[in-house]
């Protein structure tokens, strides 16, 4: 990892050293050249921060957060690891490790100005949001701690591909065409976090899985004593994170003075060696300082005394290492000056270029919201059901299970995990045929572990962010996780991952990284007694997020066809499965074969009609059909019933065509009325089809409340066939 720094290194070679000093250097296992390079990188990082601060004051950049005080710990980590071989999930303080890995100052400053050529994000992310496909630095968000779970998933993917190298093969016709896989078998995954952010549950969820899986993840806690203005004792009981994590099994732990380059390097090399040898994860807790405020938006003098700041300054790693190099005779004053001058010139040149850089075009904004390579609307996903020897009508639950099996047979990159999805984690009894296996609370994953093994279908801890966060890390590496959230009602702990991470990986990295995966979620009510926490809808919360596809089938054939497309496509998909429809008589179908797909964004006309359009999806489809049939029988009003099937994207052409024909439209859904999915559709119809309408757009939906347990209340809260019937009748008569 030694990087030469030109004349500064030559200068150092000229300096005389005693035998004792040589021994000291050797003991630290860094050559003299490496020690000089170590200092150069630290100084380069600090000077880049200083330059950004100037640029911010000149209003040439718009945000600044520095690495100052963390440089020794981070250069040590960078020197102990292999760029483009190991994987990296750094946070915003990590300028120095990124420079040590090979990021250039110009690359970093291009992000600060928001340039089109910013390799990390194309001008989309704030400065210090490092990302590089060449170096395996994975695009981060600004959210604290979410990255810990991605690192765990990334390490799991490395292990998975090492054990099943054939799974890494390219494959035409699905996402694999665009998702290259690299692995080495002994790569280590670096993830860093501030001590304040260790309060987040996702940090602990990551330790849990890294420990259980003995995964090669190096956690680095950069403890500068503050989270903005909040001191360590508020976040960490007892004030020391090392004491709290000490009992996690399988870990290598080190607590060090992270302003000491030699101690830092020693700890990092030992931790990396431990991980690389496959012994388990490591956690290095470095005590560092924060000589500048949290960011340029903060003034630490408001909450830190002058004495405290002076005590920090006395531990500054830059001056400390400079003194050490001088004392050890590795560099003399001239050598230091020369090195610093070179660095200053390098930073100056980079800044001069960055401020002149071309800015991104406004036309680029919508690029990479979704895959530019393969859309789930693609014609390849439009197939017909295969002729079948077995015409047995199967339930939605059955056909979803069939689809999972088909796809797992076809694509070895697929893994399935979630709460209780395995047949039996302790599988002796299963293998001996003594137990049948569970396979999910709704049995949708039954038999997957038995057929595909415990590495491909397994139980997660009871932690929804853990499920989604790990899946994201795996998908970034090219795996295809098809995970389950047990009930929609409990999706909320994963919300942080689902809002700030999953939909954004592609867009925020300007297309450099992506995480196509599927989250299957049983959703909805009409259960008679399902109550508040087993009846929730809420799809509009997710359709309000760009970057993910939202699908909600109403029958068995659509479920199998849409799920297959969800798995094969190149975008993240939230696949909403209505629990009430799992085993319904309505909408059963024969198995349509292992290639049957339905493209997203294509509605299905459930019942053609000429007088009135009803747009709906999910469990309201059979209810609306019942109402439409009754209305036709009784009054002759002919309702056109359209099942949207996919909610993002949705089939505007089908909607417009139908409204132009009937001139009257109802949007119906099970979720509550206000700010629901129907509001958007109704608004767009009002906007674009106003002249086609003979009546106002009506909505039928749940009351603006929660779903109660007592069936009398539940029935009143959720839209029933009678409510739909009444609305249809009124609108037809308008
Ligand atoms: C989930 C989340 N909550 C709040 C914030 C706002 N925020 C940004 S940095 C920060 C403090 C982080 O402190 P620490 O983890 O100790 O890291 P440090 O900045 O000190 O290196 C906060 C509260 C955020 N980015 N993400």
Element (H, E) at 623: helix 620-635
Q: How far apart are CA 560 and CA 249, in angstroms?
A: 42
Q: At what angle do helices 32-57 and 333-355 cross, to 10 degrees?
A: 40
Residue 92 Cα to ligand 1 midpoint, Å, equals: 9
pLDDT tens sequence across 99-108: 999 999 999 9
Q: What is the pLDDT of residue 621?
A: 98
Please report how many Cα atoms fall inside a 13 Å half-sphere around the Cα of residue 64, on the Cβ side: 23
| Residue 93 CB less than 6 A away from ligand 1 | yes
298 CA distance to ligand 1 middle (Å): 12
| CB-ligand 1 contact for 195 (6 Å cutoff) | yes
CA 90 – CA 586 distance, rounded (Å): 50
- Segments of the chain with pLDDT less than 50: 1-27
User: Quick check: 631 and 722 in contact, CB under 8 A?
Assistant: no
Query: What is the C-alpha to C-alpha distance for residues 516 and 216, in angstroms, rounded to an integer?
Result: 24
Question: Is the CB of 143 within 6 Å of ligand 1?
Answer: yes
Buried b (16+ CB within 10 A) or exposed e, 605-627: ebbebebbbbbbbbbbbbbbbbb
Of the candidates 150, 534, 578, 669, the residue annotated as catalytic is 534
Contact 65, 119 (CB under 8 A): no
User: How many whole angstroms from its chain centre is CA 465?
Assistant: 10
Counting from 1 in the atom list of ligand 1, the atom nearest the Cα of 70 is: 21
Mutate to test the pocket of ligand 1, among 74, 195, 227 (most ligand atoms within 8 A of CB): 227
Taking the CA atoms of 623, 626, 632 and 634 in sequence, report the sign of the dihedral they define: negative
Q: How far is the CA of 196 from the centre of ligand 1 (A)?
A: 7
The whole-angstrom separation of Cα 637 and Cα 610 is 8
Catalytic status, residue 534: yes
* CB of 142 closer than 6 angstroms to any ligand 1 atom: yes
pLDDT of residue 28: 54
Task: Answer whether 92's CB lies under 8 Å from 128's CB.
Answer: yes
> CB of 222 closer than 6 A to ligand 1?
yes
pLDDT at 389: 80
Confirm or reject: Cβ of 312 under 6 Å from ligand 1. no
Q: Whose CA is nearest to atom 17 of ligand 1?
A: 194
Q: Provide the whole-model pTM.
A: 0.96
For residue 340 the two structure tokens come to: 């610093």
323 exposed, middle or buried (CB, 10 Å; 0-12, 13-18, 19+)? Answer: exposed
The response to whether residue 575 sits with its C-beta less than 6 Å from ligand 1 reads: no
Q: Which of 228, 234, 235 to mutate to test the pocket of ligand 1 (most atoms within 8 A of CB)?
A: 228
What DSSP designation does 589 have? B
Judge contact between 724 and 535, C-beta under 8 A. no
Ligand 1 atom 19: residue of nearest CA: 227
Minimal-distance CA residue to ligand 1 atom 20: 227
According to the model, what pLDDT value does residue 5 have? 37
Ligand 1 binding pocket includes 196 (Cβ within 6 Å): yes
144 C-alpha vs ligand 1 centroid, how far in Å? 6
3-state secondary structure 423-440: CCCCCHHHHCCCCCCCCC
Contact 568, 517 (CB under 8 A): no
Q: Residues, the chain, total?
A: 734
Which ligand 1 atom is nearest residue 91's CA?
A: 21
Q: How are beta strands 549-551 and 646-648 bridged, if at all?
A: antiparallel
**Rounded distance from Cα 285 to ligand 1 centre (Å):** 17
pLDDT tens sequence across 634-680: 999 999 999 999 999 999 999 999 999 999 999 999 999 999 999 99
Is 226 touching ligand 1 by the criterion CB < 6 Å? yes
Backbone angles phi, psi at 643, to 5 degrees: -95, 115
Q: Which of 539, 540, 468, 538 is nearest to 505 (CA)?
A: 468
Rounded to whole angstroms, the Cα distance separating 408 from 448 reads: 9
Residue nearest to atom 15 of ligand 1 (CA): 194
**Rounded distance, CA 343 to CA 355, Å?**
18
To test ligand 1's pocket by mutation, which of 68, 144, 235 has the most ligand atoms within 8 angstroms of CB?
A: 144
pLDDT of residue 564: 98
């Amino acid at each position: 990892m030694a990087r030469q720094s030109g004349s500064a290194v030559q200068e150092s070679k000229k300096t005389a050293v005693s035998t004792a000093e040589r021994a000291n250097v050797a003991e630290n296992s860094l050559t003299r050249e490496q020690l000089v390079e170590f200092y150069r990188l630290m100084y380069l990082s600090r000077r880049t921060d200083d330059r950004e601060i100037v640029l911010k004051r000149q209003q040439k950049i718009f945000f600044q957060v520095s690495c100052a005080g963390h440089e020794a710990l981070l250069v040590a980590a960078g020197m102990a690891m292999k760029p483009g071989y190991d994987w990296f999930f750094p946070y915003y303080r990590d300028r120095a490790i990124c420079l040590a890995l090979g990021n250039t100052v110009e690359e970093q400053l291009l992000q600060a100005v928001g340039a089109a050529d910013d390799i990390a994000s194309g001008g989309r992310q704030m400065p210090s949001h490092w990302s590089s496909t060449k170096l395996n630095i994975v695009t981060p968000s600004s959210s604290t701690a979410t990255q810990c779970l991605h690192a765990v998933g990334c390490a799991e993917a490395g292990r998975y591909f090492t054990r099943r190298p054939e799974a890494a093969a390219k494959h035409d016709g699905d996402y694999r065409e665009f998702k290259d896989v690299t692995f080495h078998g002994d790569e280590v995954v670096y993830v860093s976090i501030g001590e304040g952010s260790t309060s987040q549950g996702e940090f602990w969820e990551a330790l849990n899985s890294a420990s259980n899986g003995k995964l090669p993840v190096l956690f680095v806690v950069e403890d500068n004593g503050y989270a903005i203005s909040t001191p360590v004792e508020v976040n960490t009981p007892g004030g020391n994170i090392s004491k709290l994590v000490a009992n996690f099994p399988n870990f290598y732990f080190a607590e060090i003075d992270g302003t000491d380059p030699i101690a830092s390097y020693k700890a990092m090399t030992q931790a990396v060696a431990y991980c690389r040898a496959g012994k388990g994860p490591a956690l290095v807790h470095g005590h560092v300082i924060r000589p500048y405020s949290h960011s340029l938006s903060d003034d630490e003098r408001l909450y830190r005394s002058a004495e405290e700041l002076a005590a920090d300054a006395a531990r500054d790693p830059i001056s400390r290492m400079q003194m050490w190099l001088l004392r050890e005779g590795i560099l003399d004053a001239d050598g230091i000056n020369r090195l610093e001058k070179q660095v200053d010139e390098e930073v100056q040149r980079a800044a001069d270029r960055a401020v002149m850089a071309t800015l991104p075009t406004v036309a680029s904004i919508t690029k990479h919201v979704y895959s530019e390579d393969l859309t789930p609307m693609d014609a390849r996903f439009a197939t017909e059901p295969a002729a079948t020897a077995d015409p047995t009508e199967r339930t939605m639950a059955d056909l979803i299970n069939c689809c999972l099996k088909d796809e797992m047979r076809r694509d070895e990159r697929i893994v399935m995990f979630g709460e209780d999805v395995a047949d039996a984690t302790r599988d002796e009894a299963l293998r001996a045929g003594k137990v049948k296996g569970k396979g999910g609370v709704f049995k949708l994953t039954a038999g997957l572990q038995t057929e595909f093994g415990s590495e491909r279908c397994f139980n997660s801890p009871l932690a929804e962010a853990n499920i989604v966060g790990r899946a994201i890390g795996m998908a970034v590496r090219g795996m295809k996780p098809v995970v389950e959230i047990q009930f929609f009602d409990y999706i909320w702990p994963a919300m942080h991952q689902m809002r700030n991470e999953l939909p954004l990986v592609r867009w925020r990295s300007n297309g450099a990284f992506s995480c196509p995966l599927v989250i299957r979620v049983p959703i909805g009510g009409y259960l008679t007694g399902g109550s508040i926490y087993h009846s929730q809808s809420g799809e509009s919360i997710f359709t309000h997020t760009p970057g993910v596809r939202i699908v909600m089938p109403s029958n068995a054939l659509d479920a199998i066809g849409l799920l297959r497309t969800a798995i094969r496509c190149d975008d993240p998909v939230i696949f909403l499965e209505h629990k009430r429809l799992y085993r319904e008589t309505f909408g059963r179908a024969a198995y349509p074969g292992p290639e049957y797909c339905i493209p997203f964004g294509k509605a299905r006309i459930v019942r053609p009609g000429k007088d009135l359009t009803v747009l709906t999806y999910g469990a309201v489809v059979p209810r609306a059909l019942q109402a439409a049939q009754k209305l036709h029988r009784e009054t002759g009003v002919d309702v056109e019933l359209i099942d949207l099937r996919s909610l993002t994207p949705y089939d505007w052409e089908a909607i417009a065509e139908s409204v132009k024909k009937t001139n009257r439209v109802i949007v119906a859904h099970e979720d509550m009325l206000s700010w629901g999915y129907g509001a958007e559709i109704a608004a767009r119809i009002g906007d674009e089809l106003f002249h086609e309408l003979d009546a106002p757009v009506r909505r039928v939906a749940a009351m603006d409340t929660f779903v109660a347990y007592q069936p009398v209340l539940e029935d009143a809260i959720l839209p029933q066939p009678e409510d739909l019937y009444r609305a249809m009748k009124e609108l037809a008569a308008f």
